[in-house]
């Protein structure tokens, strides 16, 4: 039986039928399942639907391989608590709904309301510099201080993407990772460790079936979702031909605000943002208040708690780790393990938890350091 769930996934599997065509078919036929009840001569009458597409749809009703693949995907989604959203459903992201080429079908997992609060995409190079990373850290901390419910959207890649996700987690802001592959894997695999935290206060989103590889064209398709999900897109650092610039183009074409962090004219990864600003395709920003002013977001200043102490509960093993960092400063993970007499695997788990809570910072080369600014405000008995 061809029902709502199976029909919408089957359409995604028909070669030559994209998101715009799917939306058009649903508009003319009335529903996903109704499309497969049409005769070839009826489908051809729909504007933009040629004989080849009509024949492919009609032939799909007899193609058992497609329906077996659909059944497999539905079982995968049910088993892994993955939700499927169609463009014609009320809880489909309204920002994406207004993008002509937005995905007709979305798969997502997590805890998110796509239509509540502000949404901001933060994108940039995979080879982020300390300048770009520090900007992300400061910006997202400012959103928290301004008591703004901002959902941070990015692509789960190295560099600026994962920096944005991590800082959203650290500041208890929701974050969405948009994937260029199915929800059966994570690319890059090093970012698996952030998944549980992302799912707790955000979501992972994709338009791709499970077992889809992260091939190069998929990243471009993913970028349009990053741009389409958000009120605005910030390009933090990027080469002139970087992937973040593609995301900026999508946002610009969707009539969304594009924002950019300026940099020195000779810096490779400031070429992209500087170019966008120069061509009046992006507004120059320096902080969260700039963004709020441009986008018309209402802000509420938090009282100054500079002298307030924070009571922090730590396990005995976490206290040992912090003692090492307090005495030695920046310390490699293997040295921490040696000095605390703990396995590296256990130290890694504790450090990740401390990092999420903002107590420690990770540095290149698996080196860790105390967050001195927060440390001064902590009330911990070591």
pLDDT at res. 369: 87
pLDDT at 314: 78
- State the pLDDT at residue 316: 86
With pLDDT > 90 as the criterion, what percentage of the chain qualifies?
75
Those residues of the chain that have pLDDT short of 70 are 1, 300-312, 372-382
Q: Give pLDDT, residue 380.
A: 44
- Residue 344 is predicted with a pLDDT of 87
Q: Where are the domains of the chain?
A: 4-79, 110-295, 310-379
Q: Does domain 4-79 have CATH number 3.40.50.620?
A: no
On whether the CB atoms of residues 331 and 367 are closer than 8 A, the answer is yes
Q: What is the pLDDT of residues 352-361, one digit of tens each?
A: 888 877 788 8
pLDDT of 301: 58
Q: Residue 310: what pLDDT?
A: 47
Strands across the sheet containing 360-363: 331-332, 367-370, 360-363
* Burial category of 294 from C-beta neighbours within 10 Å (exposed 0-12, middle 13-18, buried 19 and up): middle
Give, to the nearest 10 degrees, the angle between helix 316-328 and helix 333-340: 120
CATH class label, 110-295:
alpha beta
Is there a contact between 92 and 86 (Cβ–Cβ < 8 Å)?
A: yes
Instruction: Please identify which residue in the block is written with the tokens 């996700």.
Output: 165
pLDDT at position 61, please? 87
Domains 4-79 and 110-295 share a fold: no
- Global pTM reads 0.80
User: pLDDT tens, 254-292?
Assistant: 999 999 999 999 999 999 999 999 999 999 999 999 999
Q: Which fold has domain 310-379?
A: Arc Repressor Mutant, subunit A (1.10.10)
Dihedral angle, C-alpha 95, 97, 101, 102, nearest 10 °:
70
């Amino acid at each position: 039986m061809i029902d709502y769930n199976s029909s919408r996934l089957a359409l995604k599997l028909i070669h030559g039928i994209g998101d715009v065509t799917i939306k058009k078919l649903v508009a003319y036929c009335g529903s996903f399942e109704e499309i497969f009840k049409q005769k070839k001569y009826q489908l051809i009458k729909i504007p933009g639907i040629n004989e080849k597409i009509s024949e492919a749809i009609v032939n799909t009703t007899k193609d058992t391989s497609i329906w077996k693949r659909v059944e497999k995907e539905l079982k995968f989604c049910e088993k892994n608590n993955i939700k499927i959203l169609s463009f014609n459903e009320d809880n489909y992201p309204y920002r994406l709904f207004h993008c002509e080429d937005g995905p007709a079908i979305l798969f997502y997992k997590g805890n998110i309301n796509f239509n509540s609060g502000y949404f901001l995409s933060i994108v940039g190079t995979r080879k982020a510099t300390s300048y770009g990373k520090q900007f992300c850290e400061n910006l997202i901390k400012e959103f928290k201080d301004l008591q703004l419910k901002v959902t941070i959207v990015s692509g789960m890649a190295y560099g600026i993407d994962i920096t944005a996700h991590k800082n959203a987690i650290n500041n208890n802001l929701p974050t969405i990772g948009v994937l260029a592959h199915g929800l059966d894997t994570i690319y890059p695999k090093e970012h698996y460790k952030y998944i549980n935290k992302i799912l707790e206060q955000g979501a992972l989103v994709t338009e791709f079936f499970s077992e889809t590889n992260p091939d190069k064209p998929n990243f471009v398709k993913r970028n349009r979702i990053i741009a389409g999900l958000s009120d605005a897109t910030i390009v933090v650092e990027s080469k002139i031909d970087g992937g973040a610039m593609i995301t900026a183009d999508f946002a610009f074409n969707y009539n969304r605000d594009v924002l950019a962090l300026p940099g020195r004219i000779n810096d490779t990864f400031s070429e992209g943002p500087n170019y966008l600003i120069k061509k009046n395709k992006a507004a120059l920003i320096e902080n969260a208040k700039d963004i709020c002013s441009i986008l018309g977001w209402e802000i509420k200043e938090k009282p100054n708690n500079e002298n307030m102490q924070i009571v922090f509960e730590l396990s005995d093993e976490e206290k040992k780790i912090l003692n090492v960092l307090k005495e030695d400063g920046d310390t490699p993970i293997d040295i921490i393990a040696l000095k605390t007499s703990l396995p590296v695997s256990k130290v890694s788990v504790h450090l990740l938890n401390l990092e999420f809570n903002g107590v420690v910072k990770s540095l290149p080369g698996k080196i860790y350091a105390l967050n001195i600014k927060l440390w001064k405000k902590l009330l911990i008995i070591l």
